Amino acid sequence: MLNIRDAEINPIGLGTWNIGENKSTYQNEVDAIRYAIDNGVYVIDTAEMYGNGKSEEIIGHSIKNTIGKSCILSLKYYLKMHQKRKF
């Protein structure tokens, strides 16, 4: 669990609701996320429904090699996407 009392958190985060929607190239989306991280934005908000899960894949690829930097991922789960499943 993150102890936010000891962490300096930038008040600006990156919302990724539009990532993975085929409105840009895969590489442009990776570059945008890396640019944000390189410039001090390391809180990234996503959900499995963003781009039908593609957003999370692109974020994973983007942060994979961000050596020496940490990211905080804010994740959401949309139950209606899985209503057919029995939990």
Give the residue numbers annotated as catalytic, written as ranges: 50
In sequence order, the β-bridge partners of residue 66 are none
Q: How far apart are CA 5 and CA 83, in angstroms?
A: 37
- Reading phi first (left if > 0) and then psi (alpha if -120 to 50, else beta), residue 65 is in alpha
Q: 35 with 4: CB under 8 angstroms?
A: no
Rounded to 5 degrees, φ, ψ at 3 are -95, 95
